[in-house]
Amino acid sequence: MKKLITAILFLLPVSAFAAGGGNFYPNEPANIDLSDKTSLQNGAKLYVNYCLGCHSMEYVRYSRIAQDLELTEEQTVNNLILGDQRFGDTLDKSMNSEQAQKKYFGVDPLDLSLVARVRGEDWVYNYLRSFYVDSSRPFGVNNTVFPQVGMPHILADLQGLQAKSDALLSVEEQIAEAKAVLNDSEASDEAKAEAKEKQHRAEVEMAKLAAQGNMFVQIEEGQMTPEEYDESIRDLTAFMAYTANPVKLESKRMGVWVLMFLFVLLILAYFLKKEFWKDVH
């Protein structure tokens, strides 16, 4: 029993990491609905038009998407399939690996079939909303959820451009000052204690800014309002969550029946046990 409990406790942090654990800001819940076919269809359209140029989904086929999202083959071919790909093909990116490595990014962009399962839906949702202007980066943008990100803000025409707010810059400066003291081997224990408290207060303020939506300021308008963009990113996140686990809804449905079966079996096993043991004194 002790070994079993130890194994479970050991695996808990791993599970949390796999689900995209850890602090990041903003950290609003994605609140996706995998049963909303319209949302998934819009997410598929956004992925094909904005993401598939660089990021493939080699574990997902157009035919399976059509089946699950209630699309006809004609609708799928006309609205989702680009180039010379066919209905039964997987979602292959337009850019070849050599071109990506040597000309654009220095690496081959990741396949995103399972990213929502590895990182977590909330992480994906907030990442796609958190690009900000940063002239020091190769593509002119950075990201608070994924600092020093090495990709362009491909959805900038929809969202527009945003910059860090003065309040966020002030909080980040306080955190940097506190960390400098904490990492200073010559700092006194009293100074480190004060720095730790300062860092805690700044992180609490960071969480407040995120909750209030005051981390960024809009400096260039996009094609969508902030509300429309957030809803579109929710749809895109929902589609990526679906591709990461296409049978999730079916698994939940079957799980209910399995639990009901086990409950009935438990009742039968209980009465069977009583019957076997009724003559034992």
Give per-residue pLDDT as tens, 208-245: 999 999 999 999 999 999 999 999 999 999 999 999 99
Query: Looking at the predicted structure, is the pLDDT value of residue 13 above 50?
Result: no
Write the CA distances from 63 to 74, 140, 245, 268, 280, integer angstroms.
11, 37, 16, 44, 61
Query: Between these two residues, 205 and 24, which has the higher pLDDT value?
Result: 205
Neighbours of 76 (CB within 10 A): 18
The Cα–Cα gap between 114 and 29 comes to 19
Nearest to 130 by CA among 141, 117, 119: 141
Q: What pLDDT sits at residue 84?
A: 84
Q: If phi over 0 gives left and psi between -120 and 50 gives alpha, with beta otherwise, what is residue 78? A: alpha
The model carries a pTM of 0.80
Residue 233 identity (one-letter amino acid) = I
Query: Looking at the predicted structure, is the pLDDT value of residue 83 above 50?
Result: yes
Q: What pLDDT sits at residue 103?
A: 66
Residue 157 identity (one-letter amino acid) = D
Query: Between these two residues, 271 and 141, which has the higher pLDDT value?
Result: 141
Residue 51 annotated in ligand binding: yes
Residue 153 annotated in ligand binding: no
Residue 54 annotated in ligand binding: yes
Query: Between these two residues, 10 and 205, which has the higher pLDDT value?
Result: 205
The Cα–Cα gap between 255 and 239 comes to 22
Mean confidence (pLDDT) of the chain: 87
Q: What pLDDT sits at residue 94?
A: 79
